[in-house]
């Protein structure tokens, strides 16, 4: 997957490739979607918000923050994502980050989820994409679905 390679080797200076990778993951999981990229809101810029348009599904709108950095995303990404999710009136969020999130960010995320169980947030790192999707014998859509189920978008953080 060229997008992943570009992100990991530092060829994604403006973060657009990580955002595109996040879109690929979300569309593989949700199917046909309506999505908005780099959406300006009153609470900040949202990298991606997507909602399934598949008939007969009860899938949910999801707010996605994508971070293409050499280091793990800090706690600020958690507070930003929570504000964006509240603004979008959705309980589902996803962080796609090259190096995942820091321990402090993980603790903050777990604290937010415990305080308000409406919030469902998953974290997917480049490493988990390589291990769970590219290293899978499943087809891409099934592998992405398995990764999303593994994150469960609420209880655990996969990195």
Q: Is residue 24, in this structure, part of any structural domain at all?
A: yes
The 10s digit of each residue's pLDDT in 56-93 is 665 678 899 988 888 888 999 999 999 999 998 888 88
Domain count, the chain: 1
Q: Is residue 93, in this structure, part of any structural domain at all?
A: yes
Residue 149 in 3-state DSSP? Answer: helix
Q: Is residue 49, in this structure, part of any structural domain at all?
A: yes
The 10s digit of each residue's pLDDT in 96-113 is 888 889 999 989 888 888
> What CATH number has the domain bearing residue 13?
3.40.1350.10
Please compute the mean of the pLDDT values over residues 32-51 and round it to a whole number: 86
Q: Is residue 72, in this structure, part of any structural domain at all?
A: yes
Q: Is residue 157, in this structure, part of any structural domain at all?
A: no
Range of the domain at 22: 2-116+135-151
pLDDT for 84 equals 93
- Is-contact 65 51, C-beta < 8 A? no
Whole-prediction pTM: 0.81
């Amino acid at each position: 997957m060229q997008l992943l390679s570009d992100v990991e080797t530092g060829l994604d200076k403006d973060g657009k490739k990580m955002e595109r990778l996040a879109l690929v993951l979300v569309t593989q999981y949700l199917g046909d979607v309506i999505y908005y990229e780099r959406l300006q809101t009153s609470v900040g810029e949202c990298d991606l918000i997507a909602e399934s348009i598949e008939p007969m599904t009860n899938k949910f709108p999801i707010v996605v923050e994508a971070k293409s950095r050499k280091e793990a995303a800090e706690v600020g990404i958690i507070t930003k994502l929570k504000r964006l999710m509240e603004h979008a009136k959705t309980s589902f969020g996803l962080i796609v980050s090259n190096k995942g999130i820091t321990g402090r960010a993980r603790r903050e995320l777990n604290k937010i989820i415990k305080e308000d169980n409406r919030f469902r947030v998953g974290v997917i790192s480049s490493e988990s994409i390589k291990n769970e999707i590219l290293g899978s014998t499943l087809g891409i859509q099934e592998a992405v679905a398995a990764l999303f189920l593994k994150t469960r978008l609420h209880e655990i953080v996969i990195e």
